[in-house]
Amino acid sequence: MRKILIWLVMLAATAAANQPNVLIILTNDQGYGEMSCHGNPLLKTPNLDRLYDESIRFTDFHVAPMCTPTRGQLMTGVDCLRNLAMNVSSGRTLLRRDLPTMADLFTVGGYVTGIFGKWHLGDNYPYRPQDRGFHESVWYPSSHIGSAPDFWDNDYFDDTYWHNGKRQQFTGYTTDVFFREAMRWMREQAQSGKRFFCYLPTAAPHGPHFVPANYREAMEKLVAKANLPSLGPAAREQLTRYLAMVVNIDDNGTSRCLSP
């Protein structure tokens, strides 16, 4: 499984220089090449490109090639075979309770913490985000929206997620919802003078590749113009939807996150 783009943005507009606000955006199953700044011939990702220019970039960064192991290592700095979150299923997604998470460490440092999106490190007490150092949490269980533990009939549109321990329905497309809720929360913390750590791990562009029609139709035109003779109809459809999901991520983008 191809993983991931991690963007670390240090937002110091309302905080002391040595204690900045911190935002991590982690997209789900997006490859290195799916940004125009990395040379993609079809995609235009101006907001992600701007984030690329302004962010810390890891040029020698190693992760496990699956969802849970990568996320557990990010949260703890401990290898997946040692932190026990070593697989995406089979009861091996549970992060060791005795290991502090990034959210725990930020809390000790006086920050408020929030997660908006995919967790995949345990769906039940004591492994949920709110049990692992996050003060605010909007998330869905397991590996992807529509998985067996998820709320019945979630399909990326107007879905029901866990919000601070309670089920709540949110209006809109999944990526739009997680960005909207994250930005709302960050603004609230900034206005109250609190330092924050925001973790925004999107569901997109992980399959199933559900995407708003306007994004799919626009990408269909671009893919149709490209010279891709080796792609059959089914592969072309999935590529179109996948790239359209990346464009939606970009539109939700960092330019709005960084705006006052």
DSSP string, 32-93: TTSSGGGT-SS---HHHHHHHHHSB--SS----SSHHHHHHHHHHSS-HHHHS--SSSTT--
On the question of pLDDT at 256 being above 70, the answer is no
Residue 259 phi/psi, 5-degree rounding, is -75, 150
* List of long-range contacts for 213-221, beta carbons under 8 Å, 24+ apart: 215/244, 215/245, 215/247, 215/248, 216/240, 216/241, 216/244, 218/244, 218/247, 219/42, 219/243, 219/244, 219/247
| pLDDT value, residue 181 | 98
Cβ–Cβ under 8 Å, residues 223 and 239: yes
Q: pLDDT, tens digit, for every residue of 139-160?
A: 999 999 999 999 999 999 999 9
**pLDDT tens sequence across 208-253:** 999 999 999 999 999 999 988 888 999 999 999 999 999 999 999 8
pTM score, two decimals?
0.90
Q: What is the pLDDT of residues 159-181, one digit of tens each?
A: 999 999 999 999 999 999 999 99
Average pLDDT of the chain?
Answer: 89
Measured between alpha carbons, how far is 72 from 26 in angstroms, rounded to an integer? 13
Helix axes 233-251, 46-54, angle to 10 degrees: 60
Catalytically active residues, by annotation: 67, 120
Rg (CA), the chain: 18
Interval 130-146 mean pLDDT: 97
Q: Percent of the chain, pLDDT > 70?
A: 91
Domains (ranges, CATH) in the chain?
6-257 (3.40.720.10)
Amino acid in position 238: Q
52-81 pLDDT, tens digit per residue, is: 898 777 788 777 878 999 999 999 999 999
Q: Where are the beta strands (DSSP E) in the chain?
A: 6-11, 21-26, 112-118, 136-140, 160-163, 166-169, 196-201
